[in-house]
């Protein structure tokens, strides 16, 4: 038997004449952090709703924790799922504490969790204020506390840092990192590529309802075949001479009095580095910069992955 906590096989979803998710095959193992990336309308939110059982596939099969999430009531009863939608909306006349207590009752979670979670997301001092007085970021944090009720095995987070300032974004991901260490599996949809670049086990890039690429960051680098950049600092006045010594086979994008900007593909990287280190004390510093997630993303969004 597979130990996947999520498995989608040939899943498509159609609304009228429009297919918003097309022939998706997708597995998630316990403890993974999977990040879904893609433009608005790429199908990320629909894919989440299929995994949550909030909508049913037009074709194909969806399994979550060994069952169909659209029919398996026991999944919710085991407090197994937590969901933070992109746009959170709460009854504004209730306090933060009352809102969380309401969701705890719906989910069958302990009321005593509520105070702890409000403190955890930084709303302890605001817990008795009405939600109508909350900022957008505060409502987002209240939504995260709601998603964390019941110690879920699976977290679905749709654009979770919307409305949060940089410090709160960092705090949010520290909370998620802590949950991952406890074995929680998460599916995160995000446009904030720099935030999630170092946090995900795998990335799933979607375009027009299709998965155009999937894998670890290193696997996506190789699939996209993008060049690695190198920044070389040399003794003042020696940059031109060093550039000539590198030969015509090296792509040199920029040279000034003391610096060179180079690029090469992965297979050429180590020979080039050995060549540079062999130049001796004229080399002052060398920085190696692999392609970033946003560059890989742009590559596939331009159609090269289709």
CATH number for the domain harbouring residue 57: 3.40.50.300
Quick: pLDDT tens for 202-253: 999 999 999 999 999 889 988 888 888 999 999 999 888 898 888 776 888 8
If asked whether residues 164 and 278 sit together in one domain, one would say no
Q: Tokens in use for 224?
A: 């996209």
Cβ atoms of residues 150 and 107 within 8 Å = yes
If asked whether residues 218 and 164 sit together in one domain, one would say yes
Which of 179, 203, 222 is at the close of a domain? 222
If asked whether residues 218 and 240 sit together in one domain, one would say no
Cβ atoms of residues 139 and 88 within 8 Å = yes
pLDDT at 12 over 80: yes
If asked whether residues 256 and 202 sit together in one domain, one would say no
Quick: pLDDT tens for 59-118: 999 999 888 887 765 545 456 889 998 888 899 999 999 999 999 988 888 888 999 999
If asked whether residues 179 and 285 sit together in one domain, one would say no
Lowest mean pLDDT among 69-78, 136-145, 163-172, 179-188: 69-78
Domain range enclosing 39: 6-80+152-222
Q: How confident is the model at residue 254 (pLDDT cuts 50, 70, 90)?
A: confident
Which of 222, 246, 278 is at the close of a domain? 222
If asked whether residues 157 and 280 sit together in one domain, one would say no
Higher pLDDT, 1 or 148: 148
Flag whether 265 is in a domain: yes
Residue identified by tokens 């940059």 is: 239
- Alpha-carbon span 86 to 143, nearest angstrom: 10
pLDDT for the residue numbered 74: 53
Burial class (CB in 10 A: 0-12, 13-18, 19+), 78: middle
3-state secondary structure labels for all residues of 88-109: CCCCCCCEHHHHHHHHHHHHCC
- Range list of β-strands (E), 180-282: 185-189, 202-207, 210-215, 228-234, 251-255, 259-264
Mode of pairing for the β-strands spanning 228-234 and 259-264: antiparallel
């Amino acid at each position: 038997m597979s130990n996947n906590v999520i498995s989608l096989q040939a899943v498509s979803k159609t609304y009228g004449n429009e297919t918003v998710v097309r022939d998706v095959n997708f597995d998630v193992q316990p403890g993974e952090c999977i990040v879904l990336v893609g433009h608005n309308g790429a199908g990320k939110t629909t894919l989440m709703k299929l995994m949550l059982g909030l909508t049913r596939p037009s074709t194909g099969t969806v399994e979550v924790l060994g069952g169909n999430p659209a029919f398996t009531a026991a999944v919710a009863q085991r407090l197994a799922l937590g969901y933070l939608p992109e746009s959170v909306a709460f009854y504004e006349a209730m306090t933060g504490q009352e809102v969380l207590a309401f969701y705890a009752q719906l989910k069958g979670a302990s009321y005593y969790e509520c105070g702890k979670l409000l403190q955890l997301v930084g709303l302890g001092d605001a817990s008795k204020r009405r939600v109508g007085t909350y900022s957008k970021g505060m409502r987002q944090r209240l939504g995260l506390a709601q998603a964390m009720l019941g110690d879920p095995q699976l977290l679905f987070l749709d654009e979770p840092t919307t409305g949060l300032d940089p410090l709160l974004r960092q705090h949010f991901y520290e909370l998620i990192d802590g949950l991952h260490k406890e074995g929680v599996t998460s599916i995160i949809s995000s446009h904030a590529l720099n935030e999630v670049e170092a946090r995900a086990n795998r990335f799933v890039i979607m375009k027009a309802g299709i998965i155009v690429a999937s894998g670890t960051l290193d696997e996506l680098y190789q699939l996209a075949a993008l060049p690695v950049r190198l920044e070389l600092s040399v003794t003042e006045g020696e940059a031109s001479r060093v550039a000539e010594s590198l030969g015509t086979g090296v792509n040199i994008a920029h040279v000034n009095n003391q610096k060179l900007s180079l690029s090469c593909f992965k297979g050429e990287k180590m020979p080039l580095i050995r060549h540079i280190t062999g130049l001796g004390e004229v080399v002052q510093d060398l920085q190696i910069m692999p392609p970033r997630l946003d560059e890989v993303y742009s590559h596939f969004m331009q159609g090269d992955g289709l």
